[in-house]
Amino acid sequence: MPARKQDVLDSIFYPHSVAVIGVTGSSDRVGYNLLQSIIHAGFQGRIYPVHPRLESLQGLPVYRSLEEIPEPVDLAVIGVNQLATLEVVEQCGRKGVKGVVCIAGGYKEMGEEGKALEERLVAAARQYEMEVVGPNTLGLINTRANLNVTFYPMQLPRGKVSFVTQSGGVGLTILHKAVDEGLGINKWVGVGNRSTLEISDYLEYLARDDSTAVIGVFVEGTDDARRLVQVAGEVARHKPVVFYKVGRSGAVSHAALTHTGSMAGSYQVYRQVLQQFGLLVVDSTLEMVAACKALAMAPIPRGNGVGVVTHTAGPSIVLLDEISLRGGVFPALAGSTMGRIKEVLGQNPPVVLKNPLDAAGQGMQAANLGPLMEAVLDDPCIDILVAVYCLHLNWRCPTVEILDARERSGKPVVALYISTGEKVKEERELLHSRDIPVYTTPEEAAWGVSALLHYALQRGGIRR
């Protein structure tokens, strides 16, 4: 990425000053909420609302124009309609603004007229060497800078995962689900119409962003998919990238004249080409969050051998199914491991001793699960453990045992606590703080584990 673009993106994500154009006094309007979002997220830089007549808004003095602002402006967020936006972008250029967020739609997504308008927008930005987020975007968030430049006022927990989405609504879906899962957010951007900044530009920026450890990308479709997969493949060599490409059901949009043409529906090509470049591809927003959560919290295992310790067989069968489909294996346990298991469960327990290990009745007591988890984790073919427990009113979850087992073995552990997220909140926070992601459904636990296995194998891990 050119140094100039990198600098401008820095100013966009870490601005010292933000101007908001199109503010109003009515909370029904986008402009009001743009300003409130910035204030509500606790932004520490200077905030300059701009309106030709208003005196003050939400406790801040209002400036009549960009020119009146007494200092340089790094980032301007523009909440006026698509025609007025063009004029404001010009003014931003003259003011020396580095980046603009253009919220309004009505550009190239609306046919020829809109396309011409967007070309003028891009020309104006280029003339002044500005970069445009959008147009037609919900905006962006950077929790590291207490920055929320969207019209959805909210406060998100800080974390290591950043998202780039081609839709504001899907962005919000992912962010809210991430918060429900106890996953902290680093940055989010809605790319909108990608007028001067492509998805690959944001990816390159996030690749160099030390506070981002994992990147999730939601794609509908792009013009330069070849560059996108090449950049993403390069980024994923040192920082996990998770892709969700929508459009599985999509009919081929051009009239295909060969069999190859008719079968090359863009989804299937997308999926396989992303995989060709070593990227993890997921099939839903839920899987996206589950995968990013595991990658952000747990270390990458040294191979793809999965062990499961449970007191209930069903969820472990779901785990087995979902993980096997995604390239994980469940190695048979070694004789020495079996010996240790029998020391806990007895020589002839009323359960079949195998991996996944279902301790049934005896496993309902957390104290019994501890030595079983330790035995399975010590098995030479096991690279990662899933500990399964169903929350109970009278019996405690094996949180202490999981922490001890994890500490002793050093291998990654994923917990499946079958419960509501709310009921295991405290235990979850404790486990999350110690690199152990906690899930509440077997599918999500499986997707998390599978994400770790994918990057284990991509990085030369042992294929069991």
Give 462's strand partners.
303
235 contacts other proteins (rule: CB under 8 A) = no
- Beta-ladder partners of 390: 418
Q: Taking CB under 8 A as the rule, does residue 272 contact other proteins?
A: yes
Q: Measured between alpha carbons, how far is 239 from 282 in angstroms, rounded to an integer? A: 17
| 149 SS3 class | strand
Asked whether 132 and 183 are in contact (CB, 8 A), the reply is: no
Looking at 268, 324, 441, 458, which residue binds other proteins (CB under 8 A)?
268
For tokens 């892709």, the residue is: 243
Q: How far is CA 40 from CA 20, 26, 152, 295, 462, in A?
A: 14, 16, 10, 29, 47
Kindly state the smallest distance separating residue 256's Cβ from other proteins, in Å.
8
189 part of the interface to other proteins, by CB under 8 A: no
Pick the stretch among 187-195, 265-273, 432-440, 454-462 that binds other proteins (CB under 8 A).
Answer: 265-273
Among 251, 257, 352, 393, binds other proteins (CB under 8 A): 257
Q: Is 262 in the site for other proteins (CB under 8 A)?
A: yes
Closer of 27 and 276 to other proteins (Cβ): 276
Question: Residue 248 interacts with other proteins (CB under 8 A)?
Answer: no
Q: Which amino acid is at 327?
A: G
Nearer to other proteins, 275 or 409 (CB): 275
Using rule CB under 8 A, residue 263 touches other proteins: yes
The reply on whether position 273 binds other proteins by CB under 8 A is yes
The piece of 192-200, 225-233, 405-413, 418-426 that touches other proteins (CB under 8 A) is: 225-233
Distance CA 414, CA 464 (A): 19
- The verdict on 453 binding other proteins (CB under 8 A) reads no
The pairs formed by 394-399 with CB atoms below 8 angstroms and a separation of 24 or more are 395/364, 395/365, 395/366, 396/366, 397/366, 397/424, 397/427, 398/366, 398/369, 398/370, 398/373, 399/366, 399/427, 399/430, 399/431
Q: How many CB atoms lie within 10 A of CB 268?
A: 14
What order of strands is seen across the sheet that includes strand 147-149? Answer: 147-149, 140-142, 185-190, 158-165, 214-219, 241-245, 280-282
- Using DSSP's 3-state secondary structure scheme, residue 355 falls into coil
> What part of residues 288-327 is at the interface with other proteins (CB under 8 A)?
none
Q: Is 260 in the site for other proteins (CB under 8 A)?
A: yes
218 binds other proteins (CB under 8 A): no
Which residues in 77-116 contact other proteins (CB under 8 A)? none
| Minimum CB distance to other proteins, residue 198 (Å) | 12
Q: Report if residue 58 touches other proteins, rule: CB under 8 A.
A: no
Let me know: does 293 contact 183? Beta carbons within 8 Å: yes
Segment lying near other proteins (by CB under 8 A), choices 47-55, 259-267, 334-342, 351-359: 259-267
* Binding window for other proteins (CB under 8 A); candidates: 217-225, 293-301, 337-345, 390-398: 217-225
Out of 258, 347, 348, 394, the only residue in the binding site for other proteins (CB under 8 A) is 258
Letters for 114-153 (x = contact with other proteins by CB under 8 A, - = none) are ----------------------------------------
- The minimum distance between CB 351 and other proteins, in angstroms, equals 35
Pair of tokens at residue 407: 């500490």
Name the segment binding other proteins (CB under 8 A); options: 101-109, 113-121, 271-279, 340-348.
271-279
> With respect to other proteins, which residue has the nearer C-beta, 274 or 308?
274
CA distance 414 to 306: 10
* 130, 102 contact by CB (below 8 A): no
Name the 3-class secondary structure at 347: coil
- Contacting residues toward other proteins, per CB under 8 A: 221-226, 229, 254, 256-264, 266, 268-270, 272-273, 276
